[in-house]
Structures are given as C-alpha cells and as structure tokens.
C-alpha cells in the first residue's frame, strides 16, 4: 500500500515538472515570435513614414512649382504693366500733359526794322506763321517737347493772329520777342536752325527786314504741361 502511495506521489511530481517544463518551452517559443512581430510592426511603421514623407515631398514639389509659376506670371504681368506705364508716360508727354525738362535749344524771334515794303516806315512784325515755321522745324528735328513763350505746344495746337499778335490755342496773344524752348538733341536742332536752306520764309524776312532769329543750346530747359483750360478750335469730342 505504501509502495503504491509512493508511486502516486512520484507520478504527481513528474506531472508537475512536466507542466513547468512545458510552460518554459512555450515561453521560449513565444518570445522570438513576439520579437518578430514587433520588428515587422516597426518595419511597417517605417515604411508608412517613408510613404508619408514621399507624399509630402511630392506635395512640396508641387507647391514649389505652383509658386514658381505664380512668380513667373507675376513677373510677366509686372513687365507688361511697366511697359504699359511707359507707353502711357510717353503718350502723356507727347500730348503735353506732363511738364518736362532736359537739354535743348532756346530760340528767340524779334520784330524786324522798317523796310521798303509794303509801306515805307513800317516795320516787320513777327507773326504766327514765323513762329509756326520754327516750331515745325524743331519737331521735324526730333524735339521731344516745345513751348512758345511758356505755352506748351501739343499735336492739337493751333496758331493764329494778326498785326504782330500770335495766338496759340485761343490763349492770350503773344508779341515779340517770342521765346521758343525745345527739349531734344541740341546738335541736331542747332544744325537745322543754322541751315540757310531751312525755314526759307523766315530767312527771306531776315534779309529783307532784319528779323532777328537767335538760338543757343542749354543744358537744362523746362517746358510746362499744356493748359487744359484752353479750347482747341475745330476739334470736338467724338
């Protein structure tokens, strides 16, 4: 009987030891499996991060491309705007809407002395045609802006008058001496004014009546903007 009890105890001990060994084996088998799972999870996380980074890099590249395109478009618009502004400035200057200054020539026309015609004892008075001839000559030689006795000449300016009175754009009459200021190439305008074949009508009156025409080059001449309050005859808004 005691022998059977001993065998039973031995069997229970063996069974307990078996359970312990089985638990240890299972623990040893699960640990590497858990490590692999963790490694795989880390690899998936790294891959997910790399994919996210790659996507963000693509988005950044797209944004940079859009920014470059916008900057290029803005630069093009700025260049176009500057070109338009320059054209407007040129048109305003050509129309006499802005005051200008720069190198040019100053021309003075004075009445002549009494001659034989049309009546003895009468002197020649500078008229609007003389002034208009000089102004046209200066513009033909590249003058950028012209003023007659402080009055700006524009493409729409008109000249009229009689008996030594010069009327420009229906403004206050101007009389001798008449000062004509022109901004532009000094050498070119002076050469034209010095040419005996230029402005033949004025040249003839210089000989016949000693009309005074003098000119000089100046480093800085100022011409005002046109007087918009003056009405130009025969011109109507469309």
Per-residue pLDDT tens over the stretch 161-189: 887 899 998 889 999 999 999 999 999 99
- Please indicate, yes or no, whether residues 120 and 84 belong to a single structural domain of this protein: no
Longest dimension (CA), the chain: 181
Find, among 216, 133, 146, the residue nearest to 184 by Cα.
146
For residue 208, tell me if it sits in a domain.
yes
CATH number, position 214: 3.30.70.1880
Which residues form the domain of 85? Answer: 1-94
Mean local confidence (pLDDT), 205-220 = 90
Q: Tell which of 66, 94, 122 closes a domain.
A: 94
Find, among 179, 224, 216, 212, the residue nearest to 104 by Cα.
216
Mean local confidence (pLDDT), 136-148 = 94
For residue 234, tell me if it sits in a domain.
no
- Please indicate, yes or no, whether residues 9 and 124 belong to a single structural domain of this protein: no
* Lowest mean pLDDT, pick from 23-32, 100-109, 211-220: 23-32
Whole-model pTM: value is 0.60
Q: What is the pLDDT of residues 1-56, one digit of tens each?
A: 555 455 454 555 455 545 444 555 454 544 555 777 777 777 777 777 777 877 87
- Please indicate, yes or no, whether residues 216 and 107 belong to a single structural domain of this protein: yes
Q: Tell which of 30, 62, 94 closes a domain.
A: 94
Burial 103-138 (b: 16+ CB within 10 A, else e): ebbebebebbeebeeeeeeeebbbbbebbbbbbebb
């Amino acid at each position: 009987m005691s022998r059977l009890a001993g065998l039973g105890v031995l069997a229970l001990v063996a069974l307990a030891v078996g359970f312990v060994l089985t638990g240890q084996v299972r623990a040893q088998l699960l640990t590497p499996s858990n490590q692999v799972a963790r490694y795989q999870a880390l690899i998936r996380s790294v891959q997910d991060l790399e994919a996210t980074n790659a996507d963000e890099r693509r988005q950044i590249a797209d944004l940079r491309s859009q920014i470059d395109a916008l900057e290029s478009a803005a630069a093009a618009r700025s260049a176009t705007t500057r070109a338009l502004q320059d054209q407007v400035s040129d048109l305003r200057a050509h129309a006499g809407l802005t005051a200008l200054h720069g190198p040019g020539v100053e021309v003075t026309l004075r009445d002549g002395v009494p001659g034989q015609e049309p009546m003895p004892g009468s002197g020649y008075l500078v008229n609007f045609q003389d002034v208009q001839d000089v102004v046209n000559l200066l513009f033909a030689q590249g003058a950028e802006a012209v003023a007659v006795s402080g009055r700006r000449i524009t493409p729409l300016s008109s000249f009229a008058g009689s008996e030594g009175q010069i009327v420009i754009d229906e403004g206050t009459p101007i009389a001798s001496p008449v000062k004509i200021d022109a901004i532009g190439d000094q050498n070119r305008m002076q050469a034209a004014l010095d040419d005996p074949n230029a402005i033949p009508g004025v040249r003839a009156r210089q000989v016949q009546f000693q009309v005074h025409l003098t000119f000089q080059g100046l480093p800085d001449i100022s011409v005002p903007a046109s007087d918009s309050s003056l009405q130009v005859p025969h011109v109507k808004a469309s």
